[in-house]
Amino acid sequence: MKINVIYNKNIPDYDESLGMLEKALKKRKLEYRSYNLDDMSNFGDFTIVLGGDGTILRAARYYSEFATPIMGVNIGRLGFLSQVQYQDIEPLLDAVMAGDYKTEERMMLSSGDKLALNDFVIRGCNSTRASKFYLEVDGEDVCDYIADGLIIATPTGSTAYGLSAGGPVLYPTIESISVVPICPHTLNARPLVVPACEKIAVKTMDGTLSVAIDGYNKFDCVDKISIQKADNKAVLAFLNISNYYSILRDKLHWGMSAGEY
């Protein structure tokens, strides 16, 4: 087995975790190459990512082109997409070598050549006030939103910004797209879930749209953006003990009262 190792040098003390992982790989005589997040390449047939959710999102978008499974080792904050901490690197490698893991294909969204595993977040050109957004689904006018923005999210991204904005939690392997308004200026604006086969378009008469991809890359377009299900899928690897509902409970304290965590 050949391993890609991805690390994020912007995370404090990343070098300690990287050193532990490289030592464990050498101990098991596994071939590997280490890449900084800004300089990724595909050497192996499996990828281990050291970092937080933002690091995993960027790596997943890149390796989706090669359908290379990636497994996250959390050295960030929440670590919703990762399953193990860096202290558990040794048993993680043993499980990977034994094939004791499962993979999940996660749908992504695309707008032109731009990919998102979590979401596209759309705002007006003037971020200090609300804008009017016009939503189209498969070329049909659906509704108008006066809001601070719109979140167009995958099921994977439903537990990210969309959840904070009042959107639904979707099981990550469901093929669907959610549209969630950010701070809508009306009480009857509600999130919308549509089939993944449908194309989303958002336009505004207020000027240029500003778009963020997975909370990181930003770009400005004119007065309209089109978003659809991407051809590529991210391939995430998890240990066989993974259970999505237990992750909701453990990471988001889902259904737990304040005194229980």
Q: Which residues are catalytic?
A: 53
Rg (CA), the chain: 19
Q: How far apart are CA 238 and CA 248, in angstroms?
A: 15
- In angstroms, what CA-CA distances link 116 with 36, 75, 127? 20, 22, 22
Pick the closest to residue 7 from 52, 45, 37 (CA basis).
37
State how beta strands 31-36 and 2-7 pair: parallel
Residue partners of 129: CB distance under 8 A and separation at least 6: none
